[in-house]
Amino acid sequence: MSQAEEKIAAVVVTYNRKDLLGQCLDSLLQQSRPLDALYIIDNHSTDGTYECLLGRGLIAPAGCSDRAPVETTKPTATGGTVHYVRMPENTGGAGGFHEGMKRAAEAGFDWLWLMDDDLLTAPDALAVLVQKSGTLRSRGKESFLLNSLVLARDCPGGDVLAFPLQELTASGYPRRVYHGRLSEVQDQVQDGLYRWACPFNGTLVPGRAVAEVGLPNKEFFLWGDERDFLWRASKRFDLYTAVDSRVFHPPSREAGFDWRQYYGIRNAILINRHFRLPALRNAKLIVSSLVKGVRHGRGGLTLVLRAIRDGLLGRLGRREEYHP
């Protein structure tokens, strides 16, 4: 199949951020390489997201169900289709990407372009990814993930990254070396490609990866599902960032200590199994987490202890006491 015949679907996961979502969708619908489909996975938003999208004419009317996702479809002016999927409850980022990738892969799309609702894409972001996929194929490579370069939004100069680029060894194993600016890795960029990917922020994934690697683990609920998927995928696929494919994300900030920390700690314990010396990694994680919990009093320590217990026991899923 030629590149021109390949079908690409974007998958956007959203929850209660209708204004950011609207900006994200506008940028996607203005791509110079039009999308063949756009999947909007709405995690049961309560801020008027559905009404806003409907009022703008972006989606078709949808029913409501408290048991199963509800999907509607509507054609776009560029010949693609918008699939709006309203989830019966908030399944977190993990559940949203699980659902969206599952639907897009089952529909037979060759590539899935993954992102949260707070990402803005440059008009040629997808076209550059397609071009670079051709570059890799000309080298004889067929199994790879391609990421757009995730720049910090509203930072002048186009050099500050929203998320750091990590370094990999020649064998693809991660080194504890991170770069916060594009200029720091320019000497490692070849043919516009850097060996790393930053999921799920403008990440182009082959549809066949779902069959070969599996879907994101929806039981993670929040935080870490993208890293778990990345390291599972890295055993079969090479990781690249196309530095000329630009997307823009609000600058990352240190998250405060709240209910989300439960998932961050619990899921990190499970993610460590992908790396060397997982027991040592978890020991360090547990100690640092306990210190953090103590600083936040009895409630903080209780949260950390529960996260550690559940992580070590492999207890996943959404916890009723820890969700928005």
Residue 59: CATH number of its domain: 3.90.550.10
SS (H, E, C) 13-72: EECCCHHHHHHHHHHHHCCCCCCCEEEEEECCCCCCHHHHHHHCCCCCCCCCCCCCCEEE
The model's pLDDT over 1-54, given as tens digits with 9 standing for 90+, comes to 567 689 999 999 999 999 999 999 999 999 999 999 999 999 999 999 999 999
Is 210 a residue whose pLDDT tops 80?
yes
Report phi then psi at 44, rounded to 5. Answer: 60, 50
* Domain identity same for 245 and 308: no
pLDDT band at 254 (very low <50, low <70, confident <90, very high): low
**In a domain? residue 321:** no
Q: Looking at the 3D structure of the chain, how many domains does it have? A: 2
Residue 322 lies in a domain: no
Domain span at residue 276?
A: 260-313
Tell me the pTM: 0.95
| Per-residue model confidence (pLDDT) at position 114 | 98
192 has pLDDT over 90:
yes
Domain boundary among the residues 249, 273, 293 is at: 249
- Is the pLDDT at 297 greater than 90? The verdict is yes
Residue 320: count of CB within 10 angstroms of its CB: 6
Same domain, 269 and 215: no
Q: Say yes or no: 117 and 244 in one domain.
A: yes
Tell me how far apart the alpha carbons of residues 129 and 108 are, in angstroms, rounded to a whole number: 19
